[in-house]
Amino acid sequence: MKADLHCHSNVSDGLLAPAEVASRAADRGVELWSLTDHDEVAGLAEARAVAEERGLRFLDGSEISVSWRDDASFHVVGLGIDPASPQLVAGLQAIRDGRAGRAHRIAVELDKAGIHGAYEGAARYAEKASIISRAHFARFLVERKISPDVKSVFDRYLAKGKPGYVPHEWATLEDALRWIVDAGGVAVLAHPLRYRVGRDELRTFLGEFKDRGGRGIEVACGAHTPEEVQECARLARHFGLQASVASDFHGPGENRVEFGQLPALPEGLVPVWHDWPEAARAGASGLASAGCA
């Protein structure tokens, strides 16, 4: 079964409307799909309508920004959540509110680095969105020809330690996991090897994540090399976490991996959809094999 359980629309920092993302996933053969906008659930109804029309099985999702310990941040994907859960709705609203002030602080830092008008510039890219993200700043900096592409903008200006980076307090891990679990969802650690933490710290985090109710970890992941996919598989086995499949698609031209092109899950892992009645309706072929491609 082709699953893809992590991607973005222009409700957060993706380029396409939720309906367009849904059509694209369907066109490329995805069978079990989730839209997981950053700190937002506003695109889910539109995505679900198109997904169901096209015969996709759809899970309501969101990618929640979390702060951990002194200055680390992680992304936790909630899958199969009830998007109307009051605690979740209030929690995500608080994160989005925090993003607005952070965006102004980013613009102040970029201004000091000689890049003027960045708040207004980023806001133009976030017109349809209800959050403002570093990805919107990155697109503006590329437009200004300050760097040739989004990745090099991050490397030079927006990543931790660079001139436009500002520290920020996101949700606590405890809160994010509670919102997801209380909303009936399953919590999955996004792109496990894309954080600025050492391997020991990542393992400490994963222990805490599991103890507090985290269920899964992205293994077949668009952000990872084949070697990293194997490393994530080892982490999944070691911590007894289920495995997810995640392109982290943001839009045409911004991703290395398209819908439907993710590698199969390595052998011997329990897929994150294993216990889901919704996915079980896929029939035996969906659940009999842990493999999905």
224-263: which residues touch ligand AMP (CB under 6 A)?
A: 250
190 binds, among Mn ion, ligand AMP, none (CB under 5 to 8 A by kind): Mn ion
Q: Which of 9, 10, 34, 65 binds ligand AMP (CB under 6 A)?
A: 65
Q: Which of 79, 248, 265, 273 binds Mn ion (CB under 5 A)?
A: 248
Q: Read off the amino acid at residue 241.
A: L
38 binds ligand AMP (CB under 6 A): yes
Our CB check for Mn ion shows the closer of 57 and 191 to be 191
Q: How far apart are CA 173 and CA 171, in angstroms?
A: 6
- Beta strand 32-35 with 3-4 is parallel
Our CB check for ligand AMP shows the closer of 15 and 217 to be 15
Our CB check for ligand AMP shows the closer of 151 and 237 to be 151
154 binds ligand AMP (CB under 6 A): yes
Q: Nearest distance from residue 5's CB to ligand AMP, in Å?
A: 15
190 binds ligand AMP (CB under 6 A): no
Q: Helices 199-211 and 226-239 meet at what angle, rounded to 10?
A: 40
Q: What does the longest C-alpha to C-alpha distance in the chain come to?
A: 59
With contacts defined by CB under 5 A, name the span among 6-14, 91-99, 196-204, 253-261 that binds Mn ion. 6-14
Q: Which of 28, 105, 144, 151 binds ligand AMP (CB under 6 A)?
A: 151
With contacts defined by CB under 6 A, name the span among 115-123, 148-156, 174-182, 204-212 that binds ligand AMP. 148-156
Q: How far apart are CA 137 and CA 166, in angstroms?
A: 13
Residue 173: phi and psi, rounded to 5, are -60, -45
Q: Nearest distance from residue 250's CB to Mn ion, in Å?
A: 6
Taking the CA atoms of the chain, what radius of gyration do you get in angstroms?
A: 18
Sign of dihedral through CA atoms 208, 245, 98, 138?
positive
Q: List all residues 6 or more positions away from 11 whose beta carbon is below 8 Å from its beta carbon.
A: 18, 37, 40, 42, 43, 128, 129, 130
190 binds Mn ion (CB under 5 A): yes
Q: Which helix (H) or strand (E) holds 264?
A: none
The closest of 190, 260, 253 to 15, measured between CA atoms, is 253
Residue whose pair of structure tokens reads 């020809």 in the numeric block: 145
The closest of 249, 181, 214, 288 to 9, measured between CA atoms, is 249
Q: Nearest distance from residue 285's CB to Mn ion, in Å?
A: 28
Q: Which of 13, 20, 31, 40 binds Mn ion (CB under 5 A)?
A: 13
Q: Nearest distance from residue 38's CB to ligand AMP, in Å?
A: 6
Question: Which positions touch ligand AMP (CB under 6 A)?
Answer: 13, 38, 65, 133-135, 150-151, 154, 250
Question: Which positions touch Mn ion (CB under 5 A)?
Answer: 13, 63, 75, 135, 190, 248
